[in-house]
Amino acid sequence: MALSPMNALAAPARLLAGLLALAPLALAAQDAPIPPLPEEKTVEGVPDTEIVIRTTEDAQIEEYRYRGRVYMAKVKPAGGAPAYYLIDRDGNGTLETRHKGPYDPVIVPNWVLFSW
More confident residue, 108 or 58: 58
Tabulate helix, strand, coil % of the chain (nearest 5): 25, 30, 45
More confident residue, 21 or 30: 21
Distance CA 59, CA 85 (A): 13
Regarding the domain with residue range 46-99, which homologous superfamily does it belong to in the CATH classification? Answer: Protein of unknown function DUF2782 (2.20.130.30)
The per-residue pLDDT of the chain, averaged, comes to 75
Give the pLDDT confidence of 67-105 residue by residue, as tens digits.
Answer: 788 888 998 998 888 888 888 877 788 887 676 665 556
Q: Which of 95, 76, 92 shows the shortest CA–CA distance to 84?
A: 76
Return all residues near 110 (Cβ < 8 A) that are at least 6 apart: 89, 90, 91
What residues does each domain of the chain span?
46-99
State yes or no: pLDDT of 1 exceeds 60: no
